[in-house]
């Protein structure tokens, strides 16, 4: 496999074209539980950790990437979503990316004379690293005015265990100029069948009038129904006084 089609979303921005390297690192402490009288070291898993690191070339043009990353150093709760092998087609619940909120702890800029100006980024997780399953991808084809209903996918055929939670992330990377006060909002709903004859809203993303990246508060399995394995997203672009508004972005869900 040739590593050539990764996607990197940071908050309200899709920065894939500026990165040349990206690594998602999920790790766990190794705790020594060896006891006296045994001839072999024994270990068990400890506290989990995760980070996203990346390298690329600085773009000082219209994307203003340098300013965004520079301003994000030490800023809490930056939503980061990384797709290592391209963004999968919606309804493929076994494939996806990795999502987390993090704090940027390093932004290094500079290199050798006469070469392209490189940067180095390190984003440390503040919560869980989640296997992110795409519910709707509007990075290329924007969401139009009104309700945009995504494809229903079977997130879990066996239900969620008592330790699991439901997660969601919502990137808004572009908005029409002049979008009204109730802007763009989204919900993630669950149902017992793909037809969604009846459903329950599980995660709500409140209306935004500017580009953003939002990590939803995880929902404990005790608050969910075990007989609703299907999920879908509904993204609403406010009508206001015009029907020509649109928005671009990506929304995902995960459980673990």
The Cα 238–Cα 207 span in angstroms is 9
Residues in CB range of 57: below 8 A, 6 or more apart? 18, 20, 116, 117, 118, 119
> What is the average per-residue pLDDT within 19-46?
90
How many structural domains is the chain composed of? 2
Q: Could you tell me if residue 1 is inside a domain?
A: no
* pLDDT beyond 60 at 181: yes
> Does residue 254 contact residue 131 with C-beta atoms inside 8 Å?
yes
> What is the average per-residue pLDDT within 8-37?
90
Q: Could you tell me if residue 116 is inside a domain?
A: yes
Residue in 132, 88, 120 with CA at minimum distance from that of residue 18: 120
Q: Could you tell me if residue 36 is inside a domain?
A: no
Residue in 63, 52, 50, 59 with CA at minimum distance from that of residue 109: 59
Question: Minimum mean pLDDT among 64-73, 79-88, 197-206, 215-224: which range?
Answer: 64-73
Residue ending a domain, among 77, 95, 127, is 127
Q: Could you tell me if residue 2 is inside a domain?
A: no
Residue 209 or residue 169, greater confidence: 169
For residue 219, the tally of other CB atoms under 10 A from its CB is: 19
Q: What percent of the chain has pLDDT above 90?
A: 37
Does residue 164 sit in the same domain as residue 96?
no
* Global pTM value: 0.89
Does residue 169 sit in the same domain as residue 72?
no
* pLDDT beyond 90 at 169: yes
The residues facing 31 across adjacent strands are 44
Does residue 46 sit in the same domain as residue 114?
yes
* Host domain of residue 63: 7-30+42-127
Residue 143 binned pLDDT confidence (cut-offs 50, 70, 90): very high
């Amino acid at each position: 496999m040739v590593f050539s089609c990764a996607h990197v979303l940071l908050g309200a921005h899709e920065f894939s074209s500026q990165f040349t390297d990206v690594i998602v690192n999920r790790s766990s402490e190794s705790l020594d539980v060896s006891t006296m009288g045994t001839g072999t070291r024994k270990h068990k898993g400890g506290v989990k950790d995760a980070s996203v690191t990346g390298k690329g070339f600085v773009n000082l043009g219209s994307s203003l990437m340098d300013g965004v990353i520079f301003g994000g150093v030490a800023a809490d709760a930056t939503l980061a979503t990384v797709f290592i092998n391209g963004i999968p087609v919606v309804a493929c619940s076994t494939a996806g990316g990795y999502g987390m909120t993090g704090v940027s702890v390093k932004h290094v800029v500079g290199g050798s004379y006469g070469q392209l100006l490189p940067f180095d980024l390190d984003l440390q997780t503040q919560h869980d690293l989640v296997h992110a399953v795409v519910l709707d991808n509007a990075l290329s084809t924007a969401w139009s005015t009104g309700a945009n209903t995504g494809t229903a996918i079977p997130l879990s055929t066996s239900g969620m265990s008592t330790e699991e939670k439901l997660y969601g992330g919502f990137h808004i990377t572009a908005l029409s100029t002049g979008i009204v006060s109730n802007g763009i909002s989204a919900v993630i709903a669950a149902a017992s069948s793909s037809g969604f004859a009846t459903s329950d809203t599980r995660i709500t993303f409140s209306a935004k009038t500017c580009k953003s990246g939002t990590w939803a508060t995880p929902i404990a399995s005790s608050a969910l129904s075990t007989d609703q394995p299907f999920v879908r997203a509904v993204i609403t672009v406010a009508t206001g006084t015009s029907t020509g508004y649109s928005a671009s972005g990506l929304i995902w869900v995960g459980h673990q």
